[in-house]
Structure formats: C-alpha cells, structure tokens
Structure 1
Amino acid sequence: MIDYLNNPQDPFDDILIALPLLRYHEQIDTQLTGSDSETYSNTLGSIFRAKQPSFTSLLSAIGNTDGSMKLPLSREFTLRRSACLIALKQEITSVLCYRRPFRISLPAHYYNGLALSQKDQYDDYDWTNHILIWCAYVLKYYYGSESDTDIAEDAQTRTDQWQSLKAFEEQWKLLDPNPLDPFFYQERDPGRGQFFPVVWQAYDHKVIGMQQLEFGRMVIAAHGRRILGLGAAAATRAIEEQLRQSTRIICGLALSHRIQPAMTGASTAISLCGECFHDPGEQAAIADLMATIEREYAWSTSSVMDSLYKSWNSL
C-alpha cells in the first residue's frame, strides 16, 4: 500500500477495485467482530486524497453528458467507474451510519455541474449516478470533510454550495416525466397492516437511485431545522414528517425488491430516523424489517434496534 501511494506510475485500477470489496466484507463481519473499524474505508479515503487528479477526472467522466460518453467504453474505464461509484455509495452509508465527516475528497467546485439543465442525453444509469454524486455532496456539506483542502475551499463558497444542492432537489420535483418514477406505486395502508408503500421499479439501479434521493432529502430537511422562536414546534413536526416519509419510501423500496443494497439502505434510514416513529404498529413493522435484514442479509441491526427500543420506551 505504501509503495502504491509513493509511486504515481502504478495503475489506479487494481486497488480501487479491491478496496470496496474488502470494505463490504468488513461491514458484513461486524456481526462477528462486534464493531466496525472502518479500516478499508480509511484506506480508501487516503487513496483518493493521494490520487486526487485521477479521481477528479473519473468523477467528471461519470457526469459527462456529451456524445462521446455514449461511445463504447473500454473495459478498464467501466471497471474503474463501477468501483468508484461503489466506493462512493459505501462512503455515503458510513457517513450516515456513524454521523462522521466525509473521508473521500470530492472536487471542491464539481457541485456546480449538478444542475439538471443540459442532461438530455442522460439515461437511467446516468441519472442514478448523478443522484449518487449529489447525495455525496449533500452529506459532505452537512457533516463536513476530513480533507484540509476541502475545508478551506468550502469556507469560501458554502452559501453557493448550499443553494446549488437545494436547487437540485427543487428542480428534481419539477421533472416531468421523472427519470426515477416507479411504474407502480401503492400508498401504505396501516389499517390493513401495510406500514410501508409498495414501490416497483423496472431496474435495480433505479431502486438505489430513488433511495439515495431520499437520503439527500433527509439531510436537507434536517439542515433546515429551527430550534427556537415562534413556529419552531410546527417546523420541527414538519421536518419529522418529512423524515418519516423518506424512511417509509426507502423501506418500501427495500421490501418491494428484496435486493441486498436496498435492504442495507433501509437499515441505514431506520438508524437515522427510527426515533421519529411513534405509532406502535409502525414500530413493530420496523422491528420486523430489521430482523429480516439481519437474518436474511447478514447485515448487523441489533445495536440499532437496542437503541431504538430504549428511545421508544422512554416516550
């Protein structure tokens, strides 16, 4: 690893592909080890900081909208792109689960390219990748960055960055047709014991894109929380309802598709917003879902549920 960092001529691909795989197994092994040391997450952050020009070029290529990106891509580029996106999604999950600063150093001004204009050539995969990058910037804005360079640059443009990230969410609501609209949606029906909506997407990547969009909305809603003053209580209730709604959609997507990334996304959403659920029926549905995630998908949820039970019982 040290030799790789010290030798700029070494290929970027091998280690970029290996680390997300190792990080995935590290996350799964928390059921056995009892804790998540984030060893490979830390290593990946160091790699991205050391190879910042390569990562910046790759991120720009992922968001490229001109016709050249529609030509057949080399095997090396597609592997590198996939590994980069997986690493970015893993970092998003870790930041949300542990409420820590972002470790992957994102290009300081790339968020300016997140606007929805001039995206006519985007397909469903492009939109999912675009939302993933947007969500990463939202989390970096909210939780901060461990990179000294990012901290210095963000201090100068923080207001512009927030406006750009918020504008993306507002513009997304106006897209018609919306690239991530499900082909079937059924509202939840608590009276019949259905506490999460049924959300069917045509492809798995659209499931992930829709979940990442809701994660971004959660963080944006939490950022706007008012603590004091007239109207603060009503604003807090509105924010909690937004958090509940986003969590329901994320969990509904997971239950509707039963794929591992969506299930772990549901676990992350519940760890973030589970305290906002006060209805005993919804609490029981959450507990059942978390038990399923741990039993069938080997994703540790016990510590989250222990904390939630304490919170629910204290109300």
Structure 2
Amino acid sequence: MGKLRSKDGCLTCRRRHVKCDQAKPVCGQCQKRNRPCRREEPSGIKIKSYRLPQAARAPSGTATPDGQATDVQEQPSLQARPPIVLRAETINAGTAASAGESFSGGEGCLPFHNEQGSVSSPYASRHTPLTSEHNAVVPPYLPSSGAPLITPPINTASPYYSVASIPISQLLQPESPNHWPIASPEATVTAPLTYKEACLVHHFATQLGRWLDCTDASRQFTRKIPALVKTSPILLHAVISYAARHVGDADVAEQAHERCVELLIPSLSSETVADDDVLLCAIVILRVFEQLNVMVTGSDQERHLAGCSALLRASQGREVDPSTPGLRQAAFWVYMRQCLYNACVYQQPPNVDPNLVLLPPPSGGDPISDPKSETAWANTMTWICATVVHFCFGSNYPEPLARMHKWRELYDAVESWRKNRPDTFDPIWYSDPVPGNSNPFPEIWFTADWHVMAFGFYHLACMLLIIYKPSPRFAVRGAHGALRETDVQVMKHARAICGACNSCPSVVPSLITLCHSTFIWGPLMTDQAEREGVIKLLRDMEQVHAWPTTWIINSLEEEWSMT
C-alpha cells in the first residue's frame, strides 16, 4: 500500500491488485496460481503524463490516489449507446451490509498486512484510476468541516464520493480493457450448476441472504436470488464471489468476480439497463464482496457502490417505498445501509438524495401477520438515521436558525418513530449488566433481525443528534477530566448498541452498525471492561464472519492509548 505501481508488471497481477515480481515470460504470482500471464503489447505510442486542469488541480503537495501521475490512454468503448453517467451535480457525496448465521471464515480470511507487519486501514490507500472518455477526472476528496472523533488514517479520493460524469461500465472496468474479452451471446446461456456452485448458492440461501434481508421481513434476497441465478449468469457469479469470499475460498471468489464483471460490462450498454432489477441486485451483492475483499486487497475501491448509485439515480422516482414490494426496492435499502457504513467511517453525508419522499408505513392491521408493515417500520428508521447522518456531516444548513429548525425536525421524527412503532419492535428481554460479570453490556433480546437493526439505527441517530445539536461550544475538547453530560448520554446509546450486538451475534448487520458507529463514540469509552468487550465483538466478527475489523481495532486501541 502507498507504493508506486510497477510499470513492467503483468496485466493479470495489476488487475488482481497484487505485487508482480516482473519475471518473464511468466511471473511468479501467475506461475504459482496457474494463471495466464498477460502483458501489454508495445504500441509505439508515447503516453504523456496527464495533468489536471488548473481549476481541478489538487492543492500543492497532494498526490494522486495511486501515488503517481495519471496516464490517459484512449480506449475503445464497450458501449453501443450513450452510457449512463454519474453527474457531479446529482451527487451529494457520502454504506453496511446485512445479517447471517455464524460461519467460519477459513484460511483465506486474513487481515491485510503491510510490509511492516501492521494491519492498515482499507481506506488508507484506495486505488482510483478513473477517467472518463470526456476527460472528467476524479478530484481529491476534501473532508467537510465537521471534526470526527476518530479519523481514518488517510482520507483519499473515492469514486463513490467524487466521481463526475463517469460511465457505469468504466467504474467496473479492469485496468486494461483491451485484454478483457467481451462476453459472447453463448456465455449468457446458463448451464446446470456444478456441485461446488450449488454448495455456494446454498450457503448464500441459508446464511448470507440474511445479511441483505436484515430489514426485509419478506426475505426477498434469500427467497428470490437462489432461483434467479439459474437464469442469470451475472447474478450467479456475483453470488458465488460473495459466498466463496465468505467461506475463505479466495481463488474461486476472485475467478467468479472476474467472470461476473466480464459479463457485466457489455450488459451496461443495454437500453434497458436502468430497469434491470437482476443486474441491480448483482451489483449490490458485488458491493458486499468488495467490502469482504478488503481482507485480501487491503483497499476499498467502492466501484460497485458507485455503479449501484448510478443505476438507482437513472431509474428511481421521487418516492421511496419502505415496505419493499419488489427486488428493486429491496436492493435500494441494501444500498442505503451500505452508504451509511462509509458515511459514518468518513463522517461525510451518505450518497443518497435526502429530498426523496418516503412513503409512510401502513397504519392499522396486525404487524405480526403483515411482513410489509414490519419491513416498512424498520426501513423508516433506516431512512431517518440516514437523514440524521446527512444533516450532521453535510453542509446544507450553514445558517444557525435554519440548522436548529432542521435539528428539531429530525429530533421529532426520531421520537415519533419510537412512540408509534409496533410493539413487536420492543425487546422481549432487557437487563442491565451485572458488576463483575464477563458481559459488561446490557442483555437485550429481540425476535427478528429487522427489530435489532431498527434498534441500532435508532440509537445511532439519537447519539448523533446529541453530538451535533446546534449550540455554542468550545472548538477543542478538554484533554483531561470527567465526561460531559452530553458524552454520558452518547455512551448510554453506545452501550445499547453493544448490548444488542452481544445478545444477537447471528444478526451480522447489527455488528456492521457497531463497526461504523465506533467512529462516533469510540474515544468516549473509558471503562476497561467495556473496551475489552468491544474489541472481542470486533475480533469475533472478523474471525467468524470474515468482515474486516482489525484496522478498526487498531484505530480504537491507538485512540485509547492516548487517554
């Protein structure tokens, strides 16, 4: 991480983001894994270093995301029609996955280590070699004025936050499209599943679909995706890449991902791409693979997050249905949670239009027998939390009176949800921690995943509103002394999130909420037993569920060592 990319390395290693030893005719990496060692053919064309226009040039001393000058080479287009593009004016800047049973990560699920042997943040060195055919470049990402309690080591450019006029297909292209074969029509014919493919699809259906359905009582990803993979090779390879990465089969995961992108790129040229629900679901699933793959690559490129954003913006109306009547709506809410993850880590507004109109949850009826009602109430809290995050980390309300008015509006929305939600969202058991017990957090039990998720988003929204309530304050915190009253209130909400996660370990997305919320409250935790409890939750998550948390643990321990 952080080193210049080899100019003589093979294309195969470059696409896989691994170091190439440049041996010829076959490099060591390709020989070890029995891969074709592809290399660029000399074209006789001199490629000049591309310089940003003066208006878009980074501040003096700022390096490009990959640490070197950006080379621009004209490449043949894969599109048969004008591509869907992300426009700067439609992006506000600004993710989490969902829930599953315990499953061993396997040998392939190891944290990324740099050459010094320490585990680095996956967000510390993100490779972003993106330029559009209109020479639109990705500018360096600039943080907002809000000062985070914990800051990722380096806040570099991200295609998710700052992409401008980039076709979706280019977001997903490998580094050398000339050597990436376009899928033939015959490649879209689905053959019967092999035994290994069937095992991985079964693992998705029984374990991983639950991650994506954590706020959907109708379980659409779990029920529908395993059936749809039989008719969609793109979806099949997306599912296989996700499932294989989760069980630690790195080779199968990578091969499936490469094949999926190979099929996906020409599909994005279709005139109906914006209305293709299966394609949208595949990209949402690829985003979870991308997050899990941080354990191997050591970086999060967020390309699939940007692609999902482009598809949604191209097809979405002005209303959002929280009851998720179809797969497209279910995919939107997965994307929403994925946005929340990155928004909290970076403390930037999520890449979701806050002006969309959320339809109200259905009133009356029996929520126990109506999964749409349960889903709507869970997703409504997700939406409220996203609007709170947008308010806290955004800059839409610089004027004090307007900001206070918006804060009150959000506070009322959070309290209204708490008062009007169905009784099914209440925990069936709550008990405070017992002094001297091995569990330092309250015991909180729920009956459904979406109840746990709504509980977590509620407490995350509450703590953010406490921290970011417009009021006079000192610019710098005191270095020593007892916690302020507001800090004590924040920690009550943090302990509630920790307690729900500890009591419901099979609801993996609630643990993901814990991961990104630590960047809000982590420095305020002073009790040693609670600190050890949080570290145990995070460490178990990586070991059991293959979600990268070592870099978060390192950030917390570094922060705590200074207090």
Q: TM-score range by the shorter chain?
A: 0.7 to 0.9
Q: Aligned partners of 1:179 and 1:234: how far apart in 2?
A: 41
Q: Percentage identity across aligned positions?
A: 22
Q: Aligned partners of 1:94 and 1:222: how far apart in 2?
A: 19
Q: Aligned partners of 1:16 and 1:156: how far apart in 2?
A: 40
- Give deviations 1:76-130, integer Å, cap 9, x for gaps: x42112111111111111111221232122335x37x77x9x8445732221011
The Cα of 1:260 is off from its aligned counterpart by: 1.5
Tell me, yes or no, if structure 1 residue 228 matches structure 2 residue 488. no
Tell me, yes or no, if structure 1 residue 204 matches structure 2 residue 436. no
Tell me, yes or no, if structure 1 residue 309 matches structure 2 residue 557. yes
The Cα of 1:276 is off from its aligned counterpart by: 0.8
Residue aligned with 1:62, SS: coil
Q: Aligned partners of 2:522 and 2:419: how far apart in 1?
A: 29
Aligned with 2:462 (options 217, 231, 234): 217
Residue aligned with 1:193, SS: coil
Tell me, yes or no, if structure 1 residue 21 matches structure 2 residue 285. yes
Structure with greater proportional helix content: 1
Q: Aligned partners of 1:105 and 1:173: how far apart in 2?
A: 24
Q: Aligned partners of 1:182 and 1:48: how far apart in 2?
A: 34
Greater CA drift, 261-270 or 19-28: 261-270
Counterpart mapping for 1:82-101 below 5 A? 82-101=330-349
Greater CA drift, 9-18 or 161-170: 9-18
Q: Runs of 5+ in structure 1 lacking a partner?
A: 64-72, 146-150
Structure with higher Rg: it is 2
The Cα of 1:30 is off from its aligned counterpart by: 0.9
Aligned with 1:289 (options 518, 534, 537): 537
Greater CA drift, 282-291 or 37-46: 37-46
Counterpart mapping for 1:1-315 below 5 A? 5=84, 9-10=272-273, 11-51=275-315, 54-57=316-319, 59=320, 61-62=321-322, 77-107=325-355, 110=357, 119-120=363-364, 123-144=373-394, 160-175=405-420, 178-224=423-469, 226-228=472-474, 237-258=484-505, 259-315=507-563
Structure 2 vs 1, CA of residues 239 and 43 (structure 1 numbering), >3 Å: closer, same or farther? Answer: farther
> One-letter code of the match for 1:134?
I
Q: Aligned partners of 2:342 and 2:410: how far apart in 1?
A: 21
Q: Aligned partners of 2:419 and 2:307: how far apart in 1?
A: 40
Structure 2 vs 1, CA of residues 296 and 271 (structure 1 numbering), >3 Å: closer, same or farther? Answer: farther
The aligned counterpart of 2:244 is none
Residue aligned with 2:430, SS: strand
Q: Aligned partners of 1:36 and 1:295: how far apart in 2?
A: 19
Q: Aligned partners of 2:401 and 2:313: how far apart in 1?
A: 20
The Cα of 1:291 is off from its aligned counterpart by: 0.9
> One-letter code of the match for 1:185?
Y
Q: CA RMSD in A?
A: 3.3
Structure 2 vs 1, CA of residues 263 and 309 (structure 1 numbering), >3 Å: closer, same or farther? Answer: same
Task: Count matched residues.
Answer: 287
Q: Aligned partners of 1:234 and 1:89: how far apart in 2?
A: 36
Structure 2 vs 1, CA of residues 195 and 50 (structure 1 numbering), >3 Å: closer, same or farther? Answer: same
> One-letter code of the match for 1:140?
H
Structure 2 vs 1, CA of residues 295 and 170 (structure 1 numbering), >3 Å: closer, same or farther? Answer: same
Greater CA drift, 265-274 or 23-32: 265-274
Q: Runs of 5+ in structure 2 lacking a partner?
A: 1-77, 86-269, 368-372
The Cα of 1:160 is off from its aligned counterpart by: 4.7
- Give deviations 1:222-273, integer Å, cap 9, x for gaps: 11265239xx999972222222222221122122121211222222222331
> Is contact 1:42–1:103 with CA below 8 Å preserved after alignment?
no
Residue aligned with 1:84, SS: helix
Residue aligned with 2:326, SS: helix
> One-letter code of the match for 2:533?
A
Q: Aligned partners of 2:498 and 2:545: how far apart in 1?
A: 15
Residue aligned with 1:191, SS: coil
Q: Aligned partners of 2:488 and 2:424: how far apart in 1?
A: 25
The Cα of 1:9 is off from its aligned counterpart by: 4.7
> One-letter code of the match for 1:242?
Q
> One-letter code of the match for 2:473?
I
> One-letter code of the match for 2:488?
E
Q: Aligned partners of 1:12 and 1:156: how far apart in 2?
A: 44
- TM-score normalized with structure 1 length: 0.79
Q: Aligned partners of 2:322 and 2:413: how far apart in 1?
A: 18
> One-letter code of the match for 1:206?
H
The Cα of 1:158 is off from its aligned counterpart by: 5.4
> One-letter code of the match for 1:128?
A
Structure 2 vs 1, CA of residues 235 and 311 (structure 1 numbering), >3 Å: closer, same or farther? Answer: closer
Structure 2 vs 1, CA of residues 247 and 55 (structure 1 numbering), >3 Å: closer, same or farther? Answer: farther
The aligned counterpart of 1:66 is none
